[in-house]
Structure 1
Amino acid sequence: MLRGADRAAFAVAFVGRLRRAGVRVGLTETDDLVRALGVSPPVTRELLYWTARVVLVRRFADLAVFDRVFAAVFEDASPPPAGDAVAAVRRDDDVHVPVPAAPGAESAPGGGLPWATLPAPVAAEDDAEDGVPGVPELRATHLAALAERPFEELDAAETERLGAALAASLTRWPRRRSRRHAADPRGRTVALRPTMARARHTGFEVVSVVRERQLLRPRRVVLLCDVSGSMRAQTAAYLQMMRAFATVAEAEVFAFATSLTRLTPALRQPSLRAAIDQASESATDRFGGTRIAASIAAVLDSHHGNALRGGLVIVASDGWDGDPPERMTAVMARLRRRAHRILWLNPRAGVPGFAPLTGGMAAALPFCDALLPAATFRDLTAAAQHFTTAPPG
Structure 2
Amino acid sequence: MDRAAFAVAFVARCRRAGLSAGLTETDDLIRGLGVVPAGSRAEIYWVARVTLVRREADLAAFEGVFAAVFDDAVPLPLTRESAPGARREDEVQLPLPGATARGSADGGLPWAMLPTPVAARDEVGGEEPAVPEMRPEALAALAERPFDELDSAQLDALAGALAAELHHWPHRRGRRRAVDARGPRISLRHTVAQSRRTAFEPVTLVRERPVRRPRRAVLLCDVSASMRAQTAAYLHLMRAFTTVTAAEVFAFATTLTRLTPALRRPSAREAIERASSAATDRFGGTRIASNLVALLDSHHGDTVRGALVLIASDGWDSDPPEQMTAAMSRLRRRAHRVVWLNPRAGTHGFAPAVAGMSAALPFCDLMLPAATFGDLTTAVRATLAL
TM-score, scaled to structure 2 = 0.67
Letter aligned with residue 157 of structure 2? R
- Alignment partner, residue 270 of structure 2: 274
- Alignment partner, residue 292 of structure 2: 296
> For the structure 1 residues 137 and 208, does the alpha-carbon distance in structure 2 shift closer, same or farther, using more than 3 Å as the test?
same
Helix, strand or coil at the partner of 1:165:
helix
- Alignment partner, residue 262 of structure 1: 258
Aligned counterparts of 1:303 and 1:194: Cα–Cα separation in 2: 36
Q: In the TM superposition, what whole-angstrom CA distance separates every residue of 1:281-320 from its partner, at most 9, and x where no partner exists? A: 1212212221111111111122111211121111001111
Pick one of 300, 305, 310 that aligns with 1:309.
305
- Alignment partner, residue 332 of structure 1: 328
- Alignment partner, residue 188 of structure 2: 192
Shift of 1:237: 0.4
Q: In the TM superposition, what whole-angstrom CA distance separates every residue of 1:27-51 from its partner, at most 9, and x where no partner exists? A: xxxxxxxxxxxxxxxxxxxxxxxxx
Aligned counterparts of 2:154 and 2:216: Cα–Cα separation in 1: 30
Shift of 1:116: 6.6
Farther off after superposition, 242-251 or 316-325: 242-251
Farther off after superposition, 245-254 or 210-219: 245-254
Farther off after superposition, 266-275 or 219-228: 266-275
Q: In the TM superposition, what whole-angstrom CA distance separates every residue of 1:53-112 from its partner, at most 9, and x where no partner exists? A: xxxxxxxxxxxxxxxx9xx766xx9x99xxx9597689734487xxxxxxxxxxxxxx99
> For the structure 1 residues 201 and 234, does the alpha-carbon distance in structure 2 shift closer, same or farther, using more than 3 Å as the test?
same
Q: Could you tell me which runs of 5 or more consecutive residues in structure 1 were left unpaired when the two chains were aligned.
A: 1-12, 21-68, 97-110, 118-122, 124-133
CA RMSD of aligned residues (A): 3.3
Letter aligned with residue 232 of structure 1? R
Aligned counterparts of 1:183 and 1:136: Cα–Cα separation in 2: 48
Aligned counterparts of 1:146 and 1:112: Cα–Cα separation in 2: 19
Aligned counterparts of 2:162 and 2:349: Cα–Cα separation in 1: 28
Farther off after superposition, 223-232 or 275-284: 275-284
8 A contact 2:169–2:244 mirrored in 1: no
Aligned counterparts of 1:93 and 1:273: Cα–Cα separation in 2: 32
TM-score, scaled to structure 1 = 0.66
- Alignment partner, residue 92 of structure 1: 44
- Alignment partner, residue 379 of structure 1: 375
- Alignment partner, residue 243 of structure 1: 239
Letter aligned with residue 249 of structure 1? T
Shift of 1:242: 1.6
- Alignment partner, residue 212 of structure 2: 216
Question: Does the alignment pair 1:321 with 2:317?
Answer: yes
Q: How many residues in Structure 1 have an aligned counterpart in Structure 2?
A: 291
Q: In the TM superposition, what whole-angstrom CA distance separates every residue of 1:240-297 from its partner, at most 9, and x where no partner exists? A: 1122222322311111112211111111122322221121112122122211111111
Question: Does the alignment pair 1:365 with 2:317?
Answer: no
Letter aligned with residue 272 of structure 1? A
- Alignment partner, residue 3 of structure 1: none
Q: In the TM superposition, what whole-angstrom CA distance separates every residue of 1:350-374 from its partner, at most 9, and x where no partner exists? A: 2233221111111001001111121
Aligned counterparts of 1:357 and 1:370: Cα–Cα separation in 2: 17
Aligned counterparts of 1:92 and 1:170: Cα–Cα separation in 2: 36
Q: Could you tell me which runs of 5 or more consecutive residues in structure 2 were left unpaired when the two chains were aligned.
A: 1-7, 34-42, 50-57, 65-121, 123-129
> For the structure 1 residues 284 and 173, does the alpha-carbon distance in structure 2 shift closer, same or farther, using more than 3 Å as the test?
same
Aligned counterparts of 1:161 and 1:113: Cα–Cα separation in 2: 24
> For the structure 1 residues 374 and 116, does the alpha-carbon distance in structure 2 shift closer, same or farther, using more than 3 Å as the test?
farther
Pick one of 176, 179, 182 that aligns with 2:172.
176
Question: Does the alignment pair 1:234 with 2:186?
Answer: no
Aligned counterparts of 2:60 and 2:44: Cα–Cα separation in 1: 22
Letter aligned with residue 160 of structure 1? D
8 A contact 2:177–2:210 mirrored in 1: yes
- Alignment partner, residue 283 of structure 1: 279
Aligned counterparts of 2:255 and 2:174: Cα–Cα separation in 1: 34
Letter aligned with residue 92 of structure 1? I
Aligned counterparts of 1:368 and 1:116: Cα–Cα separation in 2: 52
Aligned counterparts of 2:357 and 2:44: Cα–Cα separation in 1: 54
- Identity of paired residues, percent? 59
Aligned counterparts of 1:379 and 1:205: Cα–Cα separation in 2: 61
